[in-house]
Structure 1
Amino acid sequence: MNARPSSRLVPMLVAAGAAILVAAVGATMTDIGPWYQGLAKPSWQPPDWLFGPAWTVIFSLAALSAVTAWRDAPDQPSREWMVGLFAVNGVLNILWSALFFRLRRPDWALVEVVFLWLSVLLLILVLRRYSRTAALLLLPYLAWVGFAAVLNLAVVRLNAPFA
């Protein structure tokens, strides 16, 4: 029996809405004004304009991953576990921006980014149980957060201490 079109559409809308919400809240936390521009940054940091498109691709892949895993999960408890993991990841994603940009504490953000990276890894490991495709769709996210962590470390080393 085929699923009703509305039952297939709801997970897509929820995943897209959640991705847009996390991206929008994170963007409101991100201020690349004078304080950020005044930070010493490594020569290998990508240009500022690249971060928006990179995050757009990552959030799109994450939403697609969530929908794919949702459809392939065997039961409702598995789906609820996945939603919880994505929610924790979203909170950690927003928290990093708040720590780094709002509170101007790259040192605290450096500690937090470890938990963000681990949350992506946990998502990959859990989703892989239901859908290899869903897990693979999160690999760019894991790589980007890993790169962001190294960049965050470089910023801390070049600018510490923070008050």
Structure 2
Amino acid sequence: MIPSWIIIGAVTFFIGLGSFLITPRDVKWFAQLRRPRWLVFEPLIPFIWTVIFISGAASAYIVWEKNPGSLITWLLMALYVLVEIITVAYIPVMLRFRSLKIGETLGLIGFISAVILALCVLLISRLAALLLLPYLVWTPIGTYTTDELKEQNPQDA
């Protein structure tokens, strides 16, 4: 039997590969957008998301281990997967459609889904809920940044 932490880590990793659905043409559009002067942390964003995904996977592992295989646990795993898919879709979908509004909307949907997940997980494990805190803190920052990009680039909203 494969340990649950390997399966959860593999699922997280493979969903994360969806971020590679970006074409050079899409990146060029995004690179040409005007940015707010305070956006100095942009090079750190991949590292921030790496920490967030690892924390989310650790949270899922804790929840799974509390009651492996139960219907509630499977439903929570599905919610973890949904949150990750929404999160990973943010960049490729926004770039493909060249729409900051789509990115902002996905960010908001991801945040709301993660709040629901965190509230459900809190009933099972405080530590698992705490591990979702990086996502819950960072996602509004990313969504706000996208909103600011919309303000600076109204033609690309």
Q: Could you state the TM-score of these two structures normalised by the residue count of structure 2?
A: 0.89
Whether 1:62 and 2:62 are equivalent positions in the alignment is: no
Q: Which residue of structure 2 aligns with residue 24 of structure 1?
A: 17
1:132 to 97, 112, 126: 126
Q: Which residue of structure 1 aligns with residue 6 of structure 2?
A: 13
Percent identity, aligned pairs only, is 23
Q: Which residue of structure 1 aligns with residue 67 of structure 2?
A: 73
Deviation at 1:42, TM superposition (A): 1.1
Conservation of the 8 A alpha-carbon contact between 1:99 and 1:106: no
Give structure 1 stretches of 5+ with no counterpart. 1-5
Between 1:40-49 and 1:15-24, the stretch displaced more is 40-49
1:91 to 85, 91, 100: 85
1:35 to 17, 29, 42: 29
Conservation of the 8 A alpha-carbon contact between 2:93 and 2:102: yes
Secondary structure of 1:39's counterpart equals coil
Q: Distance in 2 between matches of 1:95 and 1:109?
A: 9
Q: Distance in 2 between matches of 1:154 and 1:25?
A: 25
User: Number of residue pairs matched?
Assistant: 156
RMSD: 2.0
Find runs of 4+ consecutive structure 1 residues off by over 2 angstroms: 27-34, 46-49
Between 1:150-159 and 1:44-53, the stretch displaced more is 44-53
Task: Give 2:79's aligned amino acid.
Answer: L
Q: Which residue of structure 2 aligns with residue 111 of structure 1?
A: 105
Task: Give 1:54's aligned amino acid.
Answer: I
Identify if the C-alpha distance between structure 1 residues 74 and 11 changes in structure 2 by more than 3 Å, giving closer, same or farther. Answer: closer
